[in-house]
Amino acid sequence: MPEETIAEADRAFAPDGAEWDVVAVTALPEFRLHVRCRDGVAGEVSLQRLIGTGDSGVFAVLKDPAVFERVTIENGAVVWPQVLDAWPWSLDLAPDAMHDELAAHGMCVLT
C-alpha cells in the first residue's frame, strides 16, 4: 500500500491556509483515496465512478493503478502531476467541494 503523502504546509503550519486545504492523501485500492484536510476533516474519496465511465475524459489515464498511486498534494489540492506526455498540466480535484462532502458524509464519491 502506498505511503501517506503529507503536504509541506502541514509540517510547518501556514496560518493563511484554507480549512479545506488537503494536508495528507493516501491512495487506496479500487481507485479510492484517504484524504485529511487542514481543519481535521478526513475521509474516503472514491473515483471509481469517475474513472470507470466511458466519459472520464482526462481522468481516464488514472485507470492505470501505477498512475493513480502517484497522487500527491500541491497548494492544498489532491493532484496527479503531469500524467500525460501530451498534457502539460497536472490533474487535480477541487479541495473545497471535496471538504464539504467529507464534512457532511465522511465520504465523497466523484462522478
pLDDT in tens, 77-111: 999 987 656 566 678 999 999 999 999 999 999 98
The one-letter amino acid code at 89 reads W
Domain of residue 14 covers: 5-109
pLDDT in tens, 31-83: 999 999 999 999 999 999 999 877 788 888 899 999 899 999 999 999 998 76
Domain count across the chain: 1
Residue 37 maps to which CATH number?
3.30.2020.10
**CA-to-CA distance for 13 and 45, rounded, in angstroms?**
24
Helix (H, G, I), strand (E, B) or coil at 64: coil
Is the four-CA dihedral 99, 101, 102, 108 of positive or negative sign? negative
pLDDT in tens, 11-20: 444 456 788 8
Q: Which residues of 22-37 are buried (b: 16+ CB within 10 A; e: fewer)?
A: bbbbbbbeebbbebbb
